[in-house]
């Protein structure tokens, strides 16, 4: 009987080595074993989105993964978004500026979802389907108190900021490369 499984995982840049029960959910491992209680648990059936974390660059439901499955993987939770000096991630700043949260329960899942949406969907500024795409993209994340208008505004602003940043970075690489 192998009811415990050895686990090595990187979470928000820190490496952990633990033994976990076979049946432990990733969400419970993050919250209870690592004390990272930013990741919330609502429905525990994949529907509410509040437990969403990044696994090797993809947003996933941490209530639908066993901790044992993420051996060797890199996880990013909401605690890993800000820089070490406390400077907010552009998504966090946009949620703040646009009043994209009220009680904050859905916010970690919303922000991780936004991170993946901005990376994977063409959310170019000015595109007529932009708001529709954002609304569809966050349809799997339930918010019961802020209302979605401000959340959509926050994601839109973050997408604009981040694509601007990406362009600026690409631009600076170009200029570096073309410098004599």
Partner 1 sequence: MKPPAFDYLRANSVDEVIDLLREHGPDAKLLAGGQSLVPMLNFRLLRPSVVIDINRVPDLDRISLTGHEASVADSTAGALHLGTLVRHHTLESSLEVRRCNPLLAAAAAEIGHLAIRNRGTIGGSLAHNDPVGELPLIAVLLDANLHLRNPAGERSVPASQFFVSLLETDIGDEELLTGATFPEVRSDTGWGFEELSRRTGDFAIVAAAATLELDGGIVRQARIAIAGVGDVAQRFEQAEELLQGGALTREQLAAVRDSIEQSCTPTSDVHASADYRRHAAGVLTCRALEAAWSRTETGAPS
Ligand X SMILES: Cc1cc2nc3c(=O)[nH]c(=O)nc-3n(C[C@H](O)[C@H](O)[C@H](O)COP(=O)(O)OP(=O)(O)OC[C@H]3O[C@@H](n4cnc5c(N)ncnc54)[C@H](O)[C@@H]3O)c2cc1C
Number of residues that bind partner 1 (CB under 8 A): 35
Give ∠ CA 147-89-42 in degrees, rounded to 5. Answer: 45
Number of residues that bind ligand X (CB under 6 A): 2
Of residues 43 through 82, those in contact with partner 1 by CB under 8 A are 44-46, 49, 52, 58-61, 63-66, 68-69
Shortest Cβ 48–ligand X spacing (Å) = 9
Closest CB to ligand FES among residues 21, 104: 104
Is residue 165 within 8 Å of 119, Cβ to Cβ?
no
* Residues found in the chain: 180
Q: What residues line the site for ligand FES (CB under 6 A)? A: 41-44, 46-51, 61, 63, 101-107, 143-146
Q: Mask: binding to ligand X, 43-62, rule CB under 6 A, as x and -?
A: ---xx---------------
CA-based nearest residue to 100, from 126, 138, 136, 63: 138
Is residue 165 within 8 Å of 72, Cβ to Cβ?
no
Closest CB to ligand X among residues 13, 46: 46
Closest CB to partner 1 among residues 4, 169: 4
What is the distance between the alpha carbons of residues 80 and 73, in angstroms, rounded to a whole number?
15
What is the distance between the alpha carbons of residues 114 and 28, in angstroms, rounded to a whole number?
23
Closest CB to ligand X among residues 119, 142: 142
């Amino acid at each position: 009987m192998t009811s415990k499984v050895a686990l090595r995982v990187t979470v928000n840049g820190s490496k952990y080595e633990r033994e976990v029960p076979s049946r432990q959910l990733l969400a419970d491992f993050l919250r209870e074993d690592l004390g990272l209680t930013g990741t919330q648990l609502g429905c525990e059936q994949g529907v509410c989105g509040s437990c969403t974390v990044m696994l090797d660059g993809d947003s996933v439901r941490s209530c639908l993964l066993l901790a044992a499955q993420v051996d060797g993987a890199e996880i990013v939770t909401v605690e890993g978004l800000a820089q070490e000096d406390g400077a907010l991630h552009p998504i966090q700043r946009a949620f703040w500026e646009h009043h994209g949260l009220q009680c904050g329960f859905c916010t970690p899942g919303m922000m991780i979802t936004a991170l993946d949406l901005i990376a994977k969907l063409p959310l170019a500024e000015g595109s007529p389907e932009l708001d529709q795409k954002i609304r569809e993209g966050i349809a799997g994340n339930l918010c019961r108190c802020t209302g979605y208008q401000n959340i959509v505004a926050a994601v839109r602003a973050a997408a604009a900021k981040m694509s601007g940043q990406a362009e600026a970075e690409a631009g600076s690489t170009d200029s570096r490369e073309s410098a004599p």
